[in-house]
């Protein structure tokens, strides 16, 4: 069985499907960050804005991925574009929720102190709020990334390509090695994403925060 | 205070009860009648079917026709693939089910040679019938219904008319300007697209889109996102006059004519089964089957009702 799975990876169409999957996931994630982060930053000081963002985020998380994929169809037809739009919509909620919460959770005393020191709003954002919120924001991005890699499997139903093609093919042709090859590939991609973004998270955590975390503050 | 506590404690119980009810209710909702009785007194005959629309319709027709002819017909439809259905047949869990002549040769009975090389539906049926009779326990494949449910390559009407396309060879010649909407299974199984290219080597589509959802493939064609599609010749969607099925002069696929396959010992005990089911088979043709499939897949009707209506119109049941 293992050998048959490896044979699937040697198929000429495999690299293309792998690349489609990675491209789709990456593009959706980047666009989601580009949308969610600025929105979270814009509403960081308004309580109403934050509440709306959190609620939209929670609703977004609850909607089934396949439903959003189906909704994108009438707009953009079958193919990569529809899949991208749908996956982006799915990738936004975790980032939005985490970024919004992370920015708002920054200790008011610290911000007051910064204001007292004469820092402008923008400086407070870039020097205080973002660095402190960074671990939480990155955790949101990490969650979203892994979720996107997994959800990109569904693109197969609307002509978006990706590793989902292999899973469906394996299921239809009753070839468990094809199905497993696709599923294992997605799992490995998801693990790489998790580990990779975890490392990024640690890299972006300010040194001071790392020390504080270690001290158990 | 105490009463409120009791009330609060009752809530999780109520919710659990509701959840249980929901699960039970959902379990009973389904598009297909997976088990039920056709009624009638008389000897019990269990009818099976595989798990797609045409099979549900045929299965229900067999059940209803048998029930109207003095049998206690029990439905055990939605068995799964031909492997599962065949196993159930040989185990005696079902007494008969609808199978396709080509499928029998490809997947069930031992057959040396390529079933696609049999050049007539009759020859295909004879080979399948022989294969079934030689098994142990033996089965009898009754007379097939007179239509072929095989792969069909079809083209959008406007494209077909503009380029004068009527058959696969002509389509192959024009394929480099056309987009084909296909699906993973067809592209990768040896009797799918590779078989098409082998027999009509001129095929070289400008683009092949892989969409693993039948409804979306058809709607993609109708909306012009593709020019050529693939499906089964009895798909309900092919009742649309916007799609033209290409003729296959080289006959590259086996003939798949549906026929009831009955365990020979059951048939011997109740030979009337043959006459009843022959009548059902004879009442069908490709346009009718497409129509019936369309009623289920497009109009969301119940296969049981669709079968009943057809049998009534054909005068087989009241």
**Is residue B49 located within the same domain as residue B134?**
yes
**Is residue B185 located within the same domain as residue B92?**
no
pLDDT tens digits for B102-123? 999 988 999 988 888 898 999 9
* B84 part of contact set with chain A, CB < 8 Å: no
Please count the CA atoms within 13 angstroms of the CA of A120 that sit on its side-chain side.
2
**Is residue B48 located within the same domain as residue B117?**
yes
Give the integer Cα–Cα distance in Å for B35 and A211. 65
pLDDT at residue A147 is higher than 90: yes
**Is residue B62 located within the same domain as residue B135?**
yes
Give the integer Cα–Cα distance in Å for B131 and B110. 7
Residue B230, domain member (yes or no):
yes
Give the integer Cα–Cα distance in Å for B15 and B30. 24
**Is residue B226 located within the same domain as residue B86?**
no
**Is residue B132 located within the same domain as residue B167?**
no
Given this model, what pLDDT does residue A64 score?
Answer: 87
Among A46-55, A188-197, B1-10, name the most confident range.
A188-197
Provide the phi-psi class of B242: left if phi over 0, else alpha when psi is between -120 and 50, else beta.
alpha
Q: Could you identify the residue written with the tokens 């792969």? A: B151
CATH number at B234 reads: 3.40.190.120
Provide Rg for chain B, Cα atoms. Answer: 23
Please count the CA atoms within 13 angstroms of the CA of A43 that sit on its side-chain side.
20
Chain centroid to Cα A100, Å, comes to: 15
Given this model, what pLDDT does residue B32 score?
Answer: 43
Contact B210 A156 (CB under 8 A): yes
The counts of H helices and E strands in chain B are: 14, 11
Give the integer Cα–Cα distance in Å for B228 and B246. 10
Given this model, what pLDDT does residue B81 score?
Answer: 84
DSSP per residue, chain A: -HHHHHHHHTSTTHHHHHHHHHHHHHHHHHHHHHHHHHHHHHTTT-HHHHHHHHHHHHHHHHS-HHHHHHHHHHHH-SSHHHHHHHHHHHHHHHHHHHHHHHHHTS-HHHHHHHHHTT--HHHIIIIIIHHHHHHHHHHHHHHHHHHHHHHGGGGGGGT--STHHHHHHHHHTT-HHHHHHHHHHHHHHHHHHHHHHHHHHHHHS-HHHHHHHHHT-
Q: Which of B188, B221, B245 is the last residue of a domain?
A: B245
Given this model, what pLDDT does residue B195 score?
Answer: 93
Which band of pLDDT confidence, cut at 50, 70 and 90, is reported for residue A210? Answer: confident
**Is residue B284 located within the same domain as residue B139?**
yes
CA angle in degrees (0–180, nearest 5) for A188-A192-A193: 115
**Is residue B185 located within the same domain as residue B56?**
no
Which residues touch B200 (CB under 8 Å, ≥6 apart)? B168, B169, B171, B172, B250, B252
- Its ipTM equals 0.79
pTM check: above 0.90: no
* B181 part of contact set with chain A, CB < 8 Å: yes
Look at A37-51, A136-150, B84-98 and tell me which has the smallest mean pLDDT: A37-51
What is the share, in percent, of chain A residues with pLDDT greater than 70?
Answer: 100
Which band of pLDDT confidence, cut at 50, 70 and 90, is reported for residue A106? Answer: confident
pLDDT at residue A25 is higher than 80: yes
Q: At what angle do helices A176-204 and A164-172 cross, to 10 degrees?
A: 160
Q: Give me the number of domains chain B comprises.
A: 2
Query: What residues of chain B lie within 8 A of the CB of A161, using their CB?
Result: 210
Contact B225 A174 (CB under 8 A): no
Residue B4, domain member (yes or no):
no
The predicted model gives A33-49 an average pLDDT of 89
* B223 part of contact set with chain A, CB < 8 Å: yes
Provide Rg for chain A, Cα atoms. Answer: 20
Given this model, what pLDDT does residue B189 score?
Answer: 87
Looking at domain A2-215, does it have CATH number 3.40.50.720? Answer: no
Given this model, what pLDDT does residue A217 score?
Answer: 55
Residue B158, domain member (yes or no):
yes
Structure tokens at B316: 């087989």
Low-confidence ranges of chain B (pLDDT < 50): 29-35
Residue B24, domain member (yes or no):
no
Given this model, what pLDDT does residue B50 score?
Answer: 93
Which residue in B184, B188, B211 is closest to A158 by CB distance?
A: B211
pLDDT at residue A169 is higher than 80: yes
Chain B closest CA to A8's CA: distance in Å? 12
Residue B184, domain member (yes or no):
yes
DSSP per residue, A26-83: HHHHHHHHHHHHHHHHHTTT-HHHHHHHHHHHHHHHHS-HHHHHHHHHHHH-SSHHHH
Contact B220 A165 (CB under 8 A): no
B232 exposed, middle or buried (CB, 10 Å; 0-12, 13-18, 19+)? buried
Q: How many CB atoms lie within 10 A of CB B84?
A: 13
Given this model, what pLDDT does residue B30 score?
Answer: 44
Domain hosting B307: range is 36-147+258-313
Is residue A137 within 8 Å of A163, Cβ to Cβ?
no
Average confidence score pLDDT of chain A: 90
Residue B166, domain member (yes or no):
yes
Residue B305, domain member (yes or no):
yes
Contact A172 B216 (CB under 8 A): no
């Amino acid at each position: 069985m293992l050998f048959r799975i490896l044979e699937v990876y040697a198929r000429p169409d495999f690299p293309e499907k792998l690349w489609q999957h990675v491209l789709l996931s990456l593009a959706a994630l980047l666009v989601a960050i580009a949308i969610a982060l600025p929105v979270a930053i814009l509403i960081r000081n308004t309580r109403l804005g934050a509440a709306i963002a959190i609620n939209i985020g929670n609703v977004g998380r609850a909607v089934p991925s396949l439903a959003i994929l189906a909704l994108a169809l009438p707009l953009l037809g079958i193919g990569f574009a529809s899949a991208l739009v749908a996956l982006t919509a799915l990738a936004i909620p975790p980032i939005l929720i985490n970024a919004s919460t992370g920015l708002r959770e920054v200790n008011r005393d610290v911000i007051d102190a910064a204001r007292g020191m004469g820092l402008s709003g923008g400086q407070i954002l870039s020097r205080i709020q973002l660095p402190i919120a960074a671990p939480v924001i990155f955790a949101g991005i990490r969650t979203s990334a892994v979720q996107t890699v997994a959800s990109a499997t569904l693109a197969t139903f609307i002509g978006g390509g990706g590793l989902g093609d292999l899973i469906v093919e394996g299921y239809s042709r009753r070839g468990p090695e094809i199905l497993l090859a696709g599923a294992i590939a997605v799992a490995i991609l998801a693990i790489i994403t998790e580990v990779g973004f975890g490392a990024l998270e640690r890299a972006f955590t300010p040194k001071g925060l790392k020390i504080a975390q270690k001290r158990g503050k | 205070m105490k009463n409120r506590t009791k009330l609060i404690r009752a809530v999780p119980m109520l919710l659990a009860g509701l959840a249980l009810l929901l699960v039970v209710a959902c379990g009973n909702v389904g598009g297909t009648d997976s088990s039920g009785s056709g009624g009638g007194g008389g000897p019990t005959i269990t009818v099976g079917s595989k798990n797609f629309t045409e099979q549900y319709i045929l299965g229900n027709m067999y059940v209803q026709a048998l029930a109207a002819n003095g049998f206690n017909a029990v439905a055990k439809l939605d068995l799964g693939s031909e492997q599962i259905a065949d196993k159930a047949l040989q185990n005696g869990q079902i007494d008969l089910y609808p199978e396709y002549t080509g499928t029998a040769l490809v997947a069930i009975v031992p057959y040396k040679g390529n079933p696609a090389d049999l050049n007539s539906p009759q020859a295909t049926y004879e080979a399948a019938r022989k294969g079934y009779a030689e098994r142990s326990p033996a089965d009898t494949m009754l007379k097939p219904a007179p239509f072929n449910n095989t792969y069909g390559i079809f083209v959008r009407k406007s494209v077909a008319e503009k380029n004068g396309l009527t058959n696969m060879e002509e389509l192959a010649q024009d394929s480099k300007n056309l987009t084909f909407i296909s699906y993973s299974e067809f592209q990768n199984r040896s009797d799918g697209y590779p078989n098409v290219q082998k027999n009509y080597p001129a095929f070289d589509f400008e683009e092949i889109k892989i969409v693993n959802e039948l409804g979306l493939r058809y709607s993609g064609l109708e909306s012009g996102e593709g020019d050529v599609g693939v499906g089964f010749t009895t798909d309900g969607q092919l009742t649309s006059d916007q799609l033209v099925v290409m003729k296959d002069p080289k006959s590259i696929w086996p003939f798949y004519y549906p026929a009831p396959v009955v365990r020979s010992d059951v048939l011997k005990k109740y030979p009337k089964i043959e006459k009843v089911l022959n009548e059902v088979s004879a009442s069908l043709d490709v346009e009718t089957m497409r129509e019936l499939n369309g009623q289920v897949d497009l109009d969301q009707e119940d296969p049981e009702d669709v079968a009943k209506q057809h049998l009534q119109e054909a005068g087989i049941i009241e």
